[in-house]
Amino acid sequence: MDAKDRQIIRALQKNGRMSNQDLADAVQLSPSPCLRRLRNLEADGIIRGFSAEVDEKAYGLPITVFVRIKLEHHNAGDVQNFERHILNIDEVLECHVLTGVTDYQLRVVVADLNAYEDFIRKRIHPIGGIASIDTSFVYSTVKKTSVFPMVHREHPS
């Protein structure tokens, strides 16, 4: 991936609905080479798809929660069990494996505090093997973007 490919990606992260002509203009390529690069980025799995960015509040999920979870044991079976269950919980938009005191951080969206309580009691507790759950409610978001920063040096593939 070179700097031009990264320009294409950033342009699409800002506006995934732009036409190939507009994309080519934005990255200063002619349409055919631009489309060829785009198709290669898709074929290589670098661009995995396109989706709509939706306002959580307007959708009916105004509460965002960061949930940090520590497992009781770190054997392969308990880790696989936890991760398998998390993959099937719709309220969990992201799940990250962490270093440090906790093992996982989840980004969760819910309609209200009662929905969050149900999420913990009916979706998380039944997984088992959890030593602790630490919750932080988001009351305001300063910045939220899906646009990557520019990489100023080339990385070997």
**Amino acid code (one letter) for 57:** K
pLDDT (average), residues 5-30: 95
Residue 98's CATH number: 3.30.70.920
Amino acid letter, residue 28: Q
Percent of all residues in the chain with a pLDDT value above 70, rounded to a whole number? 97
Question: Residue range 29-35: average pLDDT?
Answer: 96
Q: What percent of the chain has pLDDT over 90?
A: 92
Q: Report CA 100 to chain centroid distance, whole Å.
A: 21
Residue 111 resides in a domain: yes
Contact yes or no for 6/150 (Cβ under 8 A): yes
147 in a domain, yes or no?
Answer: no
Looking at the 3D structure of the chain, how many domains does it have?
Answer: 2
Asked if the model's pLDDT at residue 92 lies above 70, the reply is yes
Is it the case that residue 115 has pLDDT exceeding 90?
yes
Cα(17)–Cα(53) distance, rounded to whole angstroms? Answer: 12
- List the domain range (segments joined by +) for residue 37: 3-43
Tell me, yes or no, whether 19 lies in a domain: yes
- Each residue's pLDDT tens digit, 93-108: 999 999 999 999 999 9
